[in-house]
Amino acid sequence: MSKTKFVDFKAVKAAITMEQLLQHYGILDQFKRGTDSLNGPCPIHKGSNPTQFRVSTTKNLWNCFSDCEHGGNTLDFITKMEKCSIHAAALKAIEWFNLDPEAMAASDDNAEAADPKTSAPAAKPAARPAVSPKFTPESNVPNAPLKFRLDKLERSHPYLTEQRGLTLETIVDFGIGFCSKGMMADRIAIPIHNVKGEVVAYAGRFPVEEPPEGTPKYKLPAGFRKSQELYNLDRAIKEPADQPWVIVEGFFDAMKLHQHGCRKVVALMGSTLSAAQEELIRQHTTSQSHVIVMLDENEAGQAGREDIACRLSKFCFVRVHQFSRPDMEPEYLTVAEVRQLMEGSL
């Protein structure tokens, strides 16, 4: 959408939720969930008190009871976070959440002026925004292929070779490397392909096992919906049909198993299976297919694998792999163990 085009603020506001915005800013996990609320530290004035910023999830409004003494709707929140105009905030929301630009365009030139309450206090009662019928749910929109490639990636970065134990062949094969500039600067750039093999995003891994506080291990581009993709699926589908699928959590689990000869591996990029990911697996398996679910041996992995096994077993054979050692991850398996895994004896 061009910057001169008029935006229907109401449509944009209705299309996004405060919860999505907190997730977008990577702070949702700092919030405690109540019946109709999310409570946490205020991200606008960067407060630390975990009760001073409150989101009403049914009204889709926020309020800071501390320094800001202010509240508002989703677009107001973006204007405060980005220190930008309401128009710029709406354009950002359209880009971040891949909203349909046509559905978000004002039908007449007065639409922007027609919504003067751009920073209504949250205390005022407001109806729950109606979802525009033209709006496709954020989670169902496919990720668009990127029109650029990150080049000049440093392949032999010690984080990859020494810390992760990857061979140069694997590094080149997966197209990863240390990025020195741009949006993934100072991170390991990991291209993510859709099922057709098109690059839809780069993930950026901070090249230290435990990054300093406040620095996320992984960075994903705003608006990218990882729930729509399975890492390495484009290549796993080319492996022989009689081989079992292996489902792991992380990029490096997939790379390492691949390096050890287990190539029909896909990564969830997390410990949960989204509906779209389930559908991708369903599309590429038959009732005779075997799937090994091998998540990390920790609380999240244990919870995730039960749910995944339950859902996948409705349409294929599922084996859940449990490690005997706590905190064990597929990435740490040796070549011999991976071979045993594929022979069904691990």
Which residues are at the interface with Zn ion (CB under 5 A)? Answer: 42, 44-45, 64, 67-68
Q: Taking the complex as a whole, how short is the minimal distance between the CB of residue 63 and Zn ion, in angstroms?
A: 9
Question: How far is it between the farthest Cα atoms of the chain?
Answer: 69
Cα distances (angstroms) measured from residue 110 to each of 12, 159, 171, 311: 16, 55, 54, 49
**Residue 102: which region, alpha, beta or left (left: phi > 0; alpha: psi -120 to 50)?**
alpha
In the complex with Zn ion, the residue whose CB is nearer, 41 or 304, is 41
In the complex with Zn ion, the residue whose CB is nearer, 45 or 219, is 45
In the complex with Zn ion, the residue whose CB is nearer, 42 or 176, is 42
Q: Taking the complex as a whole, how short is the minimal distance between the CB of residue 128 and Zn ion, in angstroms?
A: 24
- Contact (Cβ atoms closer than 8 angstroms) between residue 40 and residue 28: no
In the complex with Zn ion, the residue whose CB is nearer, 41 or 330, is 41
Q: Please state the three-class secondary structure of 187-204 as a single string.
A: EEEEEEECCCCCEEEEEE
Q: Which residues of the chain form beta strands (DSSP E)?
A: 32-33, 37-40, 53-56, 61-64, 70-72, 177-179, 187-193, 199-205, 218-219, 245-248, 265-267, 290-293, 317-320
Q: Taking the complex as a whole, how short is the minimal distance between the CB of residue 62 and Zn ion, in angstroms?
A: 9
In the complex with Zn ion, the residue whose CB is nearer, 69 or 279, is 69
Is residue 251 classed as helix, strand or coil in its secondary structure? helix
Q: Taking the complex as a whole, how short is the minimal distance between the CB of residue 47 and Zn ion, in angstroms?
A: 6
Q: Taking the complex as a whole, how short is the minimal distance between the CB of residue 72 and Zn ion, in angstroms?
A: 12
> What residues contact residue 127 under an 8 Å CB cut-off, 6+ apart?
59
In the complex with Zn ion, the residue whose CB is nearer, 72 or 204, is 72
In the complex with Zn ion, the residue whose CB is nearer, 66 or 272, is 66
End-to-end CA distance of the chain: give it in Å, rounded. 53
Q: Taking the complex as a whole, how short is the minimal distance between the CB of residue 41 and Zn ion, in angstroms?
A: 9
In the complex with Zn ion, the residue whose CB is nearer, 68 or 316, is 68
Q: Taking the complex as a whole, how short is the minimal distance between the CB of residue 77 and Zn ion, in angstroms?
A: 11
Cα distances (angstroms) measured from residue 172 to each of 176, 189, 322: 7, 12, 31
Q: Taking the complex as a whole, how short is the minimal distance between the CB of residue 124 and Zn ion, in angstroms?
A: 18
Name the helix (H) or strand (E) containing 18.
helix 18-24
Q: Taking the complex as a whole, how short is the minimal distance between the CB of residue 70 and Zn ion, in angstroms?
A: 7
> What residues contact residue 87 under an 8 Å CB cut-off, 6+ apart?
7, 112
**Residue 165: which region, alpha, beta or left (left: phi > 0; alpha: psi -120 to 50)?**
left
In the complex with Zn ion, the residue whose CB is nearer, 67 or 279, is 67
290-293/245-248 β-pairing: parallel
What DSSP string runs through 210-221?
SPPTT--SEE--
Look up residue 181 and give its two tokens.
Answer: 């500039």
